[in-house]
């Protein structure tokens, strides 16, 4: 992964830790940062050694303090659509990533920062995290999927409240709303996010991938279509070695050794 200025990738066993690192601007997302996030996930997609991803921001103060306002202020209507689509495409690629993606959110997750966290499959926060969508106060709306994904996660009422007031919420409130799965101290954040990712990656990757596909496709389609798709995946999994291994291991009272096929 060469030619990256704002995104770092480190490996910890079979996990890739992706760090957005633009600390002087609280990791704000300009076009280049979003482009680099997209490239990194494209590379990780085909890397069979990677079983899961932790996405985080560099520094103590912010996960990501939003899209880069200094860049946005210059845009016209045509740029606006392009900028929004670029962010939506990259964040949707994260949501549709076939391996678990856990966001480790320390400090501010505002605007685009909350939107990228929403696209991750699981969110772990530190107690200094603050979540908010301040866009309306800047004369825009969340344009990287925030008006859609927040409502799907926490319900319409809470999403409308957060989007229209722009007021950030604290980590403990985010946990109550189901926006984050766990709140830990800043010092524990990365280890806790990795441990959470490993709770998923210890399972067979084919089943994990199928579960992600069924859940996210299910949100987008009618109940009938979603149930039919779920059944197809269920049938497909019955043909895998991983299913035989998982069930045999249970019956033999031992840990399963999944091969991913």
What residue ranges bind ligand COA (CB under 6 A)? Answer: 25-26, 28, 65-70, 108, 110-111, 134-135, 138
CA dist., res. 115 & res. 54, Å (int): 16
Q: Does 230 participate in catalysis according to the annotation?
A: no
CB count within 10 Å of CB 150 equals 24
CB count within 10 Å of CB 54 equals 28
Q: Which is nearer to ligand COA, 140 or 211 (CB)?
A: 140
Nearest distance, CB of residue 3 and ligand COA, angstroms = 23
| Three-state secondary structure call for residue 47 | coil
CA dist., res. 131 & res. 136, Å (int): 15
Beta bridge partners of 17: 10, 54
Query: How far lies 215's CA from each of 38, 141, 225, in Å?
Result: 22, 27, 12
Handedness of CA 167, 168, 172, 176 (dihedral sign): positive
Q: Does 115 participate in catalysis according to the annotation?
A: yes
Which residue stretches of the chain are H helix?
A: 31-45, 69-72, 77-95, 112-119, 146-154, 156-165, 171-177, 189-201, 205-220, 223-237, 241-251
Burial status of residue 135 (CB atoms within 10 A of its CB: 0-12, 13-18, 19 or more)? buried
Q: Which is nearer to ligand COA, 65 or 206 (CB)?
A: 65
Nearest distance, CB of residue 47 and ligand COA, angstroms = 31
Nearest distance, CB of residue 27 and ligand COA, angstroms = 8
Q: Which is nearer to ligand COA, 66 or 204 (CB)?
A: 66
Nearest distance, CB of residue 97 and ligand COA, angstroms = 24
- Both tokens of 149, joined, read 């994904």
Q: Which is nearer to ligand COA, 38 or 57 (CB)?
A: 57
Catalytic hit among 71, 115, 188, 230: 115
Catalytic hit among 60, 135, 188, 241: 135
Q: Which is nearer to ligand COA, 133 or 200 (CB)?
A: 133
Nearest distance, CB of residue 76 and ligand COA, angstroms = 16
φ, ψ at 189 (rounded to 5°): -55, -55
Nearest distance, CB of residue 207 and ligand COA, angstroms = 37
Strand 7-12 vs strand 15-20: parallel, antiparallel, or unpaired?
antiparallel
Q: Which is nearer to ligand COA, 16 or 105 (CB)?
A: 105
* H or E element at residue 183: strand 182-184
Residues with catalytic function: 115, 135
């Amino acid at each position: 992964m060469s030619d990256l200025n704002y995104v770092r990738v480190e490996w910890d066993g079979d996990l890739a830790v992706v760090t957005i690192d633009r600390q002087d601007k609280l990791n704000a997302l300009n076009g280049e940062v979003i482009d680099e996030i997209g490239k990194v996930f494209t590379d990780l997609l085909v890397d069979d050694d990677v079983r899961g991803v932790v996405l985080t921001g560099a520094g103590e103060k912010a996960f990501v303090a939003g899209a880069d306002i200094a860049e946005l202020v210059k845009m016209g209507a045509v740029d606006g659509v392009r900028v929004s689509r670029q962010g939506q495409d990259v964040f949707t690629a994260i949501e549709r990533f076939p391996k678990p993606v856990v966001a480790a959110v320390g400090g501010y997750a505002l605007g685009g920062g909350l939107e990228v966290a929403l696209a991750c499959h699981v969110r772990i926060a530190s107690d200094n995290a603050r979540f908010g969508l301040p866009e309306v106060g800047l004369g825009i709306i969340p344009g990287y999927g925030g008006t859609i994904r927040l409502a799907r996660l926490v319900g319409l009422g809470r999403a409308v409240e957060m989007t229209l007031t722009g007021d950030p919420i604290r980590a403990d409130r985010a946990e109550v709303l189901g926006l984050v799965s766990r709140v830990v101290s800043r010092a524990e954040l990365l280890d806790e996010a990795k441990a959470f990712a490993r709770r998923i990656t210890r399972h067979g990757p084919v089943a994990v991938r199928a579960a992600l596909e069924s859940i996210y496709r299910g949100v987008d389609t009618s109940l009938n279509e979603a149930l039919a798709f779920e059944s197809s995946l269920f049938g497909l999994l019955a043909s895998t070695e991983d299913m035989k291994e998982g069930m045999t291991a249970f019956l033999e009272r031992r840990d399963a050794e999944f091969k991913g096929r």
